[in-house]
Amino acid sequence: MAGKFLHFPVISEGAEYLVMGNLMRRNILAYKAPPRNEGYDLICIHPNPRHQLAPGELAQVRVQVKSRYATDSDRGFPLRASQLDAFDFLVAVFLNIGNFFDDYDGTTGRSAPEFYTLPNAFVREHHYGSGGFERVSLQGLEAELEPYKDEAGFEFIASALDIPRPSRNNEEDASGER
């Protein structure tokens, strides 16, 4: 049935857990904020409880997660201007579970999810409001978005928290022991 609004709460909630899993895979400690928390969905911190902050380093990073389930989505999402001060990064998750627009029923067009970890300044630059509807549009920005895609994007959060890539060569492990 074309034009009918579809709502899949399990899939939407799953996007936040996918982001958490990818952040934790990168050794970034991520906690889910309470449901309907205003402005951010995840809190990220350094996994080492004894980590000493360097100048300019953040003690915590607030992450807003926005998701779209349709593979054929318009690459935009609603975001109120009042929320722009509430997060450090926004992760746009395109879940790509199938095509739903026009006469498609969602049974075709499935592909791997895509993650874009966008700094607050990037989101502000691409935020607009017209007719009382405020949103961020990423349509036509494929080349500009490439540095923020998937694992490369998660590195921005790791860098803000000064979390080294997991390696045998790291002087300290996540527990702070040598």
Model confidence pLDDT, tens digit, residues 117-130: 999 999 999 999 86
Annotated domain spans of the chain: 9-160
* DSSP helix/strand/coil, 24: helix
The better pLDDT of the pair 78, 6 is held by 78
Q: Name the band, by pLDDT with cuts 50, 70 and 90, for residue 171.
A: low
Which pLDDT belongs to residue 121? 97
Residue indicated by tokens 């997660």: 65
Distance of alpha carbon 148 from alpha carbon 109, whole angstroms: 23
Residue 138 is which amino acid? L
* DSSP helix/strand/coil, 29: strand
**Furthest CA-CA distance within the chain:** 60
Neighbours of 3 (CB within 10 A): 6
Distance of alpha carbon 118 from alpha carbon 104, whole angstroms: 30
Domain 9-160 sits in CATH at 3.40.1350.10
Angle among Cα 80, 11, 86 to the nearest 5 degrees reads 25
Distance of alpha carbon 94 from alpha carbon 112, whole angstroms: 9
- Alpha helices (runs of H) in 26-168, residue ranges in sequence order: 120-125, 142-145, 150-160
Distance of alpha carbon 88 from alpha carbon 61, whole angstroms: 6
Which pLDDT belongs to residue 156? 97
Is 77 a residue whose pLDDT tops 50? yes
Angle among Cα 56, 62, 68 to the nearest 5 degrees reads 135
Is 48 a residue whose pLDDT tops 90? yes
Which pLDDT belongs to residue 66? 95
Count of residues making up the chain:
178
